[in-house]
Structure 1
Amino acid sequence: MDFNVVLTNTIDVVVALGLKILGAIVFWFVGRWLIGLAMNLLTQAFRRSGVEETLLVYLKATLGVLLNVVLIVAILGFFGIETTSFAALLAAAGIAIGAAWSGLLAHFAAGAFLIIFHPFKVGDFVTAGGVTGTVKEIGLFVTTIDTMDNVQTIVGNNVLFSDTIQNFSANPFRRVDLVAQLNHDVNHKHAIALFKERVSQIPNVLVEPAPDVEILEFTPMGPVLAVRPYCHNNHYWQVYFDTNRVIRETAAEANFSVPEQHFAVSQKAA
């Protein structure tokens, strides 16, 4: 065997391999630069279109992973490696990971839908997933809600999206529902007029729509009045407690009789 021929062939193989490795390195850095450029252009386009920042994070992360996988497959093809089998392996791995992380992926998908459909936003007061409070953060997998007693509660996005959502901040005002129990001897018309006048004077109670004060039902103690002022959601609890206080004070100032049950007892002769 001619040593010079072997040496020449070895040098040719090493040079060819070195050039491929160098080309792959250049390919990688150029590809990464192009991916970064594409991501920046897409980010600017999405922001000009008014896409929500949280949704933008989803899109950037997903596109970034896909483009990097394409780049790796292209580099392997550059080396002459059969990429069809590699793509099939990636697909199988994706299915396996998806099955193992089905719960997390469900939360991820639900988070994307929460951003797209906007059932609530950060700062809204909601009841969702069995939790009532103010939304502090909508994350990729979970949403943070501060409850009324100031407890930070973390709820999975899929739990929120699969349950009924009540958004108390969506409408410009809401109704406070309270009742006033009257005795039988109290003139209900007089009581209704007094309560309407006093409730309408409570701070932050809306003039339009005006407070509702009407007979709601009857009990053995007498008629029950529905006392329902309207206010902005931010003032709900202040109006709620003030209305309760006004009901008590108005009844006392008007000397309404204390509600008590009345029964009629009759006796039949034997």
Structure 2
Amino acid sequence: MKCIPLLLSLGLLALSTAHAQSGCFANVKKNGLTVVTSPDYPPFETLDANNKVVGFDMDLLNAVAKHMGVKVNLVTQSFDGLVPSLLAKKADLIAAGMTVTEERKKSVLFSVPYISGPNAIVIRKDTPGISKLSDLSGKTVAVQLGTAQEKLVGDVKGASVKSFNLYTDAAMAVQTRQAQAMVLHKVVANSFVKVYPDLKIAGTLGSLNTSFAMRKDCGDLQNRVNAALIQVRKSGEMDKLVAKWFK
């Protein structure tokens, strides 16, 4: 687990560039930053005992908003509805441990990545013969609906994909033998294997980047968020949050 160095060219961060000013940030400055998330992905975001959304993304989001000088308006919903809500202008930003993919880049803008790490395969400790992606052929694999992992497993020939609205339900499916495996970000997998003692991480799959997402017409907001992320990193706040949530 590591933070991606948040280094951009000066051109990408030119906040004064006229063509990048779409007015999104002006609206955020006036009304606050409306953020959508799906709080079932610890340690990125989850609900505490008081049903408050907590996690790495929430702390990072608040730090970014502070550097931007705006307040945060948080809205929760299922993961598969996050991008539709963003595109319908019901939100300004997605903060949900979202993986950067080429397919998603077609419809949204991403901030600079703030976390990089691999996916992981999670299985029951008594399940043999699964350690790599090809081993999922012929197996029922639990994933979250609308995630990059759903597509990843869907591309495995012979694998049966079982999609859930919540990753907690996907983990329970593996725990109760309704599925032989689950695929998700490794830092999230670490959290689940602590909660479900019968589960273990069987293998890791490549690397992926995690970012905030915004609408395509909000280049000005993207610039502001990127600049704030760089400030959070330079100030040492990022390292403290990584140590807090990914220890």
TM-score (norm 2): 0.19
TM-score normalised to structure 1 length: 0.17
Q: Greater relative contact order (Cα 8 A, min sep 6): structure 1 or 2?
A: 2
Greater fraction helix: 1
The answer to which structure has the higher strand fraction is 2
